Amino acid sequence: MTVDGISASSDSRTSSSDMLLDGLFTGMIGALAVAVWYFILDVAAGRPLYTPALLGSWLLHGAAAGTGAVQVAPLEIAAYTAFHFVSFVVVGVVFSWLMTLIEKFPIVFFVLIVLFASLTVGFFALDAVLGAQLTGKLQPWTVVVANLLAALGMSLYQWKRHPQAIRNVDRLWQDEDDAR
């Protein structure tokens, strides 16, 4: 292996570790945005930690949890919080990877739009398949606002980390306008 080969190999590892670290931070930003949003709503409604308890009950006990009164208990809150943060970290890593791709292929920006819409619709579709038990207790507008807050926070972080990507997307729009 040549010195250039070693250098290229270590650059790709650094790139991958940077992407994973960016994804971790991105996911944590999104997860915290949603958690803070629902904490504020729950406190305003006079029932702190209701939402993570509701979703944790559903996660641990399935559809049967949606029919009774929600008990705010540490196990349900911890289970959902862990699931929530791990899910957001996975989404954050994918987002970071897509932003890296946008730096090379600006058209991937449209994949981000589809991903956001799919994740939002996916929640409501899953809820509908399970009998719409969460929608009755968790207002749809709050989910949409939570997703927008998470997307905004995650996007701001990623745009800051990938300035070339935003220039490429701007160029993509300019090319589209020039084609008309």
10 Å CB burial of residue 83 (0-12, 13-18, 19+) is middle
pLDDT given at position 89: 97
The parent domain of residue 111 ranges over 3-179
The count of structural domains within the chain is 1
Residue 28, pLDDT above cutoff 50: yes
- Taking only the tens place, the pLDDT of each residue in 69-95 is 778 899 999 999 999 999 999 999 999
Report the pLDDT value the prediction gives residue 131, as an integer from 0 to 100.
Answer: 54
d(CA 52, CA 54): 5
Global confidence as pTM: 0.78
- pLDDT above 70 for 153: yes
Checking if the pLDDT of 21 tops 80, the result is: yes
The percentage of residues in the chain with a pLDDT greater than 90, rounded to a whole number, is 37
Cα–Cα–Cα angle for 173, 175, 180, nearest 5°?
A: 100
Residue 33 vs residues 26, 40, 85, 97, 156: alpha-carbon distances, Å: 11, 11, 11, 21, 12
Residue 90's pLDDT is 95
Residue 73, SS3?
Answer: coil
Residues with Cβ within 8 Å of 65's Cβ and at least 6 positions away in sequence, in order, are 54, 57, 58
Phi/psi for 6 (5° steps) reads: -65, -45
pLDDT digits (tens, 9 = 90+) for 35-70: 999 999 999 999 999 999 988 888 888 756 555 677
